[in-house]
Structure 1
Amino acid sequence: MPENPFKYVYILRSLEYPDRHYTGCTDDLEARLKKHNQGDVPHTVKFRPWQIQTAVSFRSEAKARAFEKYLKSGSGREFARRHF
C-alpha cells in the first residue's frame, strides 16, 4: 500500500463535553481517532468519546505543523471557533 502523501490537521470535539476540543496532526485520521477513543492518548482520555469536527489536508508536513501550531495559539483558537 503506498504511503499517504497527506498530513491532516484535525480538531476533535468531545461528545460528552461539547466545550472540549483537541487539535492535532496525523497522516491517518481514522487510526488517530481510534487511538483517542480507545484512551491511548493521555491528553484526551478523560473526555472520550471524540468525533472529528474539522480536518484539513496538506501535502507539506511543514505547512501542516505550522497550521497546527497556529490553531493552538490564542488567535488560532478564536479563528477555529469562528470558522469551524
Structure 2
Amino acid sequence: MYYTYVLYSSKYHKIYIGYSSDTEKRLLSHNDERNTGWTKRYQPWQIIHIEGFETKSEALKREKQLKSSRGRAFLRTLLPS
C-alpha cells in the first residue's frame, strides 16, 4: 500500500506534500536533525492528511493533484486556525 501525505509546519505555516509506503518512517525522516533537504528548514512537521492507494502510480498521481492550485485550495481547508 502507498500513501500520499501532507505535512504541516505550524511554526512556519508551510506545507509539504509527498508519497511513501511508510508514512511514520517518512515523518521521522523529515523531522530528523540529520535531514539535509528542504524540509529541515521548517521542522517540526506533523501529518495533517493521509490518503491510501493500492499502487505507487496512484499515490504519485494524487500527490501531483494536491500540488495543483485546486489541490492547495483543498489543503488550506485542513490547516489549523
Give 5+ residue unaligned stretches, structure 2.
Answer: none
Matches within 5 A, 1:41-56: 42-56=37-51
Moved over 4 A (4+): none
1:77 aligns with 2:72: yes
Q: Distance between the aligned counterparts of 2:36 and 2:3, measured in 1?
A: 17
1:41 CA displacement: 5.1
Query: Structure 1 residues 70, 58: closer, same or farther in 2, change over 3 A?
Result: same
Partner of 1:31: 25
C-alpha RMSD of matched pairs (Å): 1.3
Q: 1:61 to 1:71 in 2, by over 3 A?
A: same
Query: Which amino acid letter does the alignment assign opposite residue 55 of structure 1?
Result: I
Give TM-score scaled by structure 2 length.
0.86
State the SS of the aligned residue for 2:11: coil
Q: TM-score, normalised by structure 1?
A: 0.83
Give the % identical residues. 38
8 Å CA contact retained: 1:13, 1:51: yes
Deviation at 1:25, TM superposition (A): 0.3
Tell me which residue corresponds to 2:14: 20
The 1:68/1:41 distance shift into structure 2, 3 A limit, reads farther
